[in-house]
Amino acid sequence: MQVFIHDYRMDGSDYVVAFRTVTKSGKEFVTEHMVSSTQASSKTQKEIIDLAWIAVKETVEIHAERVDQSGETQPVECDLIGQELIEPKSKPARLEVTGPHHIEKSETVQTVMYSAILYDQYEKEVLNKKIKFEIEEAPDNVSIKENILTVQPATLEEDVLFHLIASSGVIKERISVILLAYEPKAIEQRVQVLENQTEKIRQQSLVTMGAVTDIYEQIQNANDPT
> Per the domain annotation, does 109 fall within a domain?
yes
Residue 40 has pLDDT above 80, yes or no: yes
Q: Are 195 and 136 within one domain?
A: no
Rounded to the nearest 5 degrees, what angle is found at the Cα of 36, between the Cα atoms of 8 and 56?
Answer: 65
Range of the domain at 192: 184-226
Q: Are 107 and 164 within one domain?
A: yes
> Per the domain annotation, does 159 fall within a domain?
yes
Q: Are 97 and 63 within one domain?
A: no
> Per the domain annotation, does 105 fall within a domain?
yes
Q: Are 169 and 123 within one domain?
A: yes
Evaluate the CA torsion angle 89, 91, 94, 97 in order and state its sign: positive
**CATH code, domain with 122:** 2.60.40.3460
When pLDDT is averaged across residues 129-148 and rounded to a whole number, the result is: 93
Q: How confident is the model at residue 178 (pLDDT cuts 50, 70, 90)?
A: very high
Q: Are 148 and 219 within one domain?
A: no
Q: How confident is the model at residue 207 (pLDDT cuts 50, 70, 90)?
A: low
> Per the domain annotation, does 120 fall within a domain?
yes
Q: Are 12 and 32 within one domain?
A: yes
When pLDDT is averaged across residues 169-178 and rounded to a whole number, the result is: 94
- Count of domains for the chain: 3
Helix (H) or strand (E) holding 190: helix 184-223
Among residues 162, 179, 196, the one where a domain terminates is 179
Whether the full predicted model's pTM is greater than 0.85, yes or no, is no
Q: Are 175 and 164 in contact (CB under 8 A)?
A: yes
Does 78 or 15 have the greater pLDDT score? 15
Give the list of residues 6+ apart from residue 89 with CB closer than 8 angstroms, or none: none
DSSP 125: B
Whole-number Å distance between alpha carbons of 23 and 63: 9
> Per the domain annotation, does 111 fall within a domain?
yes
> Per the domain annotation, does 85 fall within a domain?
no
Tell me the per-residue pLDDT of 90-135, one tens digit each, with 9 for 90 and over.
999 999 999 999 998 888 899 999 999 999 998 999 998 999 999 9
Q: What is the pLDDT of residue 155?
A: 82
Does 79 or 196 have the greater pLDDT score? 79
Q: What is the pLDDT of residue 189?
A: 61
> Per the domain annotation, does 75 fall within a domain?
no
Q: Are 116 and 95 in contact (CB under 8 A)?
A: yes
Q: Are 141 and 151 in contact (CB under 8 A)?
A: yes
Q: What is the pLDDT of residue 224?
A: 62
Q: Are 159 and 199 within one domain?
A: no
Q: Are 43 and 8 within one domain?
A: yes
Q: How confident is the model at residue 73 (pLDDT cuts 50, 70, 90)?
A: low
Q: What is the pLDDT of residue 106?
A: 84
Q: Are 30 and 61 within one domain?
A: yes
Q: Are 111 and 145 within one domain?
A: yes
> Per the domain annotation, does 83 fall within a domain?
no
Whole-number Å distance between alpha carbons of 27 and 66: 11
Task: Give percent of the chain with pLDDT exceeding 90.
Answer: 35
Q: Are 133 and 174 within one domain?
A: yes
Q: Are 97 and 175 within one domain?
A: yes
